[in-house]
Amino acid sequence: MSSTDATGFWDGVHAARPTAADVPPPNARLTETVAGLPPGDALDLGCGGGGDALWLAAQGWRVTATDLSAVAVGRVAALAHAHGLGDRVTTARHDLHRSFPPGAFDLICAHYLHTDFALDRDTVLRTAAHALRPGGRLLVVDHGSTAPWSWNQDPDLRYPSPQEVAEGIGLDPAAWTVERADAPRRIATGPDGSTAEVTDHVVLVRRTG
């Protein structure tokens, strides 16, 4: 499908959601990864509702929050200003199939960057790794299981393993180190308030050279 189709789809998804007055909670794999790291410049790829970007900003990070959807980035910008974080959050619309945010970063996170539309994810993540400063980290968190509330309940759906994701990025081990590639489980809460155990596929890469 075309970029226009993808934009229209994700704008519709975000427009259908109620406008939030409170900051959405951050992803658990982000908070555990960032704990103990000194704040710097962060990039959130596919920021969605903004929970990760705004949580990072509240911890002192300077955050660039990007999404394909103009509705999403507009709402994140409004939330940042409403919560006194506007000076630490920059929002920008990017179609990662066509463009990548400029700059150098100490942390880049990509949570659940899944889509049925055209996206060369390996290239996007490889570009992200190259946008890290020395010592910076790329955190990739993917679905590793299907939650009961997921829109896709295909029993044959296969999720690439963390090792396969890391191999697909194709980084030179002389300049990047895979610090984590595992599949932890957690209890997640769905849109209707129900809970279930889900699996995350986590890859954490640090630039060493």
Q: Model confidence over 23-33: pLDDT tens digits? A: 889 999 999 99
What's the predicted TM-score (pTM) here? 0.91
pLDDT, tens digit (0-9, with 9 covering 90-100), for 70-108: 999 999 999 999 999 999 999 999 989 889 999 999 999
pLDDT of residue 134: 98
Tokens of residue 20, six digits: 């939030």
Is it the case that residue 194 has pLDDT exceeding 80?
Answer: yes
**pLDDT at res. 97:** 84
State the pLDDT at residue 21.
Answer: 64
Cα distance between residue 143 and residue 69, in whole Å: 21
Q: Is the pLDDT of residue 16 over 90?
A: no
Is residue 178 predicted with pLDDT exceeding 90?
yes
- For residue 26 the two structure tokens come to 């951050």
Phi and psi at residue 29, in whole multiples of 5°?
-70, -25
Residue 37 has pLDDT above 70, yes or no: yes
Average pLDDT, stretch 150-174? 91
Higher per-residue confidence, 17 vs 177: 177
| Domains within the chain, CATH numbers bracketed | 3-207 (3.40.50.150)
Closest by alpha carbon to 27, among 92, 87, 94, 109? Answer: 109
Output the pLDDT for position 15: 65
**CA 206 to CA 44: how far, in whole Å?**
16
Q: What is the pLDDT of residues 55-73, one digit of tens each?
A: 999 999 999 999 999 999 9
Q: H or E stretch including 81?
A: helix 70-82
Please provide the average confidence, as pLDDT, over all residues in the chain: 91
| Distance from C-alpha of 157 to C-alpha of 145, rounded to nearest angstrom | 9
Strand partners, 185: 199
Quick check: 116 pLDDT over 70? no
What is the H or E stretch that residue 106 is in? Answer: strand 105-111
Residue 108's pLDDT is what? 98
Instruction: Kindly compute the dihedral angle of the four CA atoms of residues 180, 116, 53, 181, in this order, to the nearest 10 degrees.
Output: 0
Residue 193: which of 144, 149, 151 has the closest Cα? Answer: 149
DSSP state, 198? E
Q: Per-residue pLDDT for 7 more than 60?
A: yes
Residues of the chain with pLDDT > 70: what percent? 94
- The backbone region for 49, taken as left when phi is positive above 0, alpha when psi lies in -120 to 50, beta otherwise, is alpha
- For position 4, what pLDDT does the model report? 65
Model confidence at 9: pLDDT above 80: no
